[in-house]
Amino acid sequence: MIESGLPKDWRELQDKTAQILSESGFDAHTDCEISLARGTVSVDVLARDPSATPPATYVCECKNWQSAVPKNVVHGFRMVVIEAGAHRGFVISSGGFQSGAYEAAEHSNVDLVNWSEFQHFFVERWFHAFMAPTLLKEGDALHEYTEPINSRIARKASALPANLREQFEQLRHLYAIPSFVLLMLWYDPFARKSKVPVLPLRSSLGARAPTGLTPDILDAPALRPLMSVVSRFYRQVTAEFDEVFGGRA
């Protein structure tokens, strides 16, 4: 999944829902007033997808309840989705749904989901729109330092004093494989799009997991925590190379 753990309250559930949609390319906002046939109503999250033709509108209701959502809540939300002209609605519940709620949502464009199921709807889009591009950019300098053929870096390395040139080669030997393995997670040159990584990486990579990858990367339980620790890894290792060159090579 994208997130690890559950939101601690309704506000965090609402904010994280909007965050995931925004990072996936939606124009998403919380606590929005929308016009209906008989006045206005406030919805937890309103998101518009500008990439769709015509643009699509999603409405989300976030219920961080201990009890299951009853059918009357779903009936009411279904009418909001219809009258707002929304293309899809999500009721996200931490406490599940009563059996009548599922009947109320049948044959409609309303999905009744828990937090994990909501993330599942958007995980691929979030990965390709946000996580992969972000990490490709953040890891660009390290990939340059460690790629086997880079004439620009090679020229700069050859101009270093012998002791610094040796440090550079040691760093490249240490981090070339970890850097390449991470790069292949965000970018597959032989496919139109790389696949969302299966976590934890320690299990999915198996024997291919290089020793240079830190335990927090290999054991990250969800994509956002993985993104955070990989970003830190990129910054720290790139800084080691920068120090050898006295700045960015």
112 and 144 belong to one structural domain: no
Task: Dump pLDDT digits (tens) for 1-36.
Answer: 999 999 999 999 999 999 999 999 999 999 999 988
CATH code where residue 86 lies:
3.40.1350.10
The last residue of a domain, from among 86, 120, 154? 120
Geometric angle at alpha carbon 180, from 175 and 181, rounded to 5°: 100
Cβ 33 vs Cβ 20: under 8 Å: no
Please give the model's pTM, rounded to 2 decimal places: 0.94
What would the pLDDT profile of 167-212 be if each residue is shown by its tens digit?
999 999 999 999 999 999 999 877 777 899 999 999 999 988 998 9
Range 63-101 burial, b when 16+ CB lie within 10 A, else e: bbeeeebebebbeebbebbeebebbbbbbbbbeebbeeb
Q: What is the largest CA-CA distance in the chain?
A: 78
User: Are 53 and 109 contained in the same domain?
Assistant: yes
Which residue has tokens 């290999």? 218
Q: For residue 176, give its domain range.
A: 139-245
Q: Is the same domain home to 34 and 114?
A: yes
Instruction: Give every CB contact of residue 48 below 8 A, 6+ residues apart in sequence.
Output: 26, 27, 28, 55, 56, 57, 58
For residue 97, the surrounding DSSP H or E stretch is: none
Same domain flag for 221 and 174? yes
Of 77, 92, 120, the domain-final residue: 120
Q: Does any domain span residue 130?
A: no
